[in-house]
């Protein structure tokens, strides 16, 4: 399968000598579910941001959905991100005063593609018939389902998820991970997910561990207990 995402020798430095990423190379194939883990400050969010065109590497290259993005100008880059990338965040990032359907139509109103219908994506996340409900009335788990529906509606090349279950109880979090898993298995969606939770990472196909801005492990995902053991090793 084709690589939908390829980082080559990506480094990202910040002022005052902080190096968040050092020579990270990582290729992700269409239909993979990748979990990115590592201790706090190891560079997970920076990696996700550079891969998802939210940030630019200091050096190295990023190929996303068939285009080199590291030197694209701001306008085209924003459109590329809008058209090709879906995001799911810990904090949902929905507009709570709007209805479910209005939230789902937002990407389209901002000029983005809408490759699926509102009813179809709501059914896919287990919320059929909720179009008219204000998001402010929904539970955290329901909001995260809406956020996944919003990510799916544009038919993105990659969904980037940053701690998608961080604000949810384990049972609800498991349901959210099950939805991402099903999107990968049934629809061939590609997911790159940052998480601190070995139980969440265990839903993925591939585990990438970062330590001080470098990839130290890139392997088929083992079970949650083995993931926890690997994490202890990189934190040591
Ligand atoms: N905008 C920024 N300006 C300066 N330093 C930054 C910035 N973003 C990240 N850093 C630094 O880069 C390093 C990696 O940060 P990053 O947020 O990628 O880590 P992380 O693994 O996602 O951590 P956490 O698990 O705590 O979210 C840290 O030392 C952080 O302080």
Output 112-116 pairs: Cβ under 8 A, ≥24 positions apart: 112/82, 112/83, 112/154, 113/83, 113/154, 113/155, 114/153, 114/154, 115/153, 115/154, 115/155, 116/152, 116/153, 116/155
- Measured from the CB, is residue 38 less than 6 Å from ligand 1? yes
Q: Which atom of ligand 1 is nearest to the CA of 42?
A: 21
Q: Which atom of ligand 1 is nearest to the CA of 48?
A: 18
> How many domains, the chain?
1
Centroid of ligand 1 to alpha carbon of 141 (angstroms)? 27
Nearest CA to ligand 1 atom 29: 41
Centroid of ligand 1 to alpha carbon of 99 (angstroms)? 34
Task: Give residue-wise pLDDT tens across range 186-212.
Answer: 889 999 999 999 999 999 999 999 999
pLDDT in tens, the chain (236 residues): 679 999 999 999 999 999 999 999 999 999 999 999 999 999 999 999 999 999 999 999 999 999 999 889 999 999 999 889 999 888 878 899 999 999 998 877 777 777 888 999 999 889 999 999 999 999 999 998 999 999 999 889 999 999 988 888 888 889 889 989 998 998 899 999 999 999 999 999 999 999 999 999 999 999 999 999 999 888 77
Q: What is the CATH number of the domain that holds 133?
A: 3.40.50.300
- The parent domain of residue 7 ranges over 3-235
């Amino acid at each position: 399968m084709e690589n939908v995402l390829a980082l080559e020798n990506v480094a990202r430095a910040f002022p005052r000598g902080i190096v968040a990423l050092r020579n990270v190379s990582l290729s992700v194939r269409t239909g993979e579910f990748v979990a990115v883990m590592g201790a706090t400050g190891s560079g997970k969010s920076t990696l996700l941001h550079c891969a998802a065109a939210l940030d630019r590497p200091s050096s190295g290259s990023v190929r996303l959905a068939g285009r080199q993005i590291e030197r694209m100008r701001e306008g085209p880059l924003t459109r590329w991100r809008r058209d090709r990338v879906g995001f799911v965040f810990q904090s949902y990032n929905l507009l709570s005063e709007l209805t479910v359907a209005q939230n789902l139509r937002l990407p389209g109103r901002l000029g983005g593609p809408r490759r699926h219908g509102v009813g179809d994506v709501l059914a896919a996340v287990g919320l059929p018939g909720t179009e008219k409900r204000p998001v402010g009335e929904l539970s955290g788990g329901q909001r995260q389902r809406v956020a996944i529906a919003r990510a799916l509606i544009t038919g993105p090349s990659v969904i980037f998820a940053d701690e998608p279950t961080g604000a949810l109880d384990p049972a609800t979090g498991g349901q959210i991970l099950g939805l991402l898993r099903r999107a990968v298995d049934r629809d061939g969606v590609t997911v790159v997910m940052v998480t601190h939770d070995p139980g969440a990472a265990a839903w993925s196909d591939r585990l990438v561990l970062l330590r001080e801005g470098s990839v130290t492990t890139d392997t088929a995902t083992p079970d949650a207990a083995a993931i926890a053991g690997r994490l202890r090793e990189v934190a040591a």
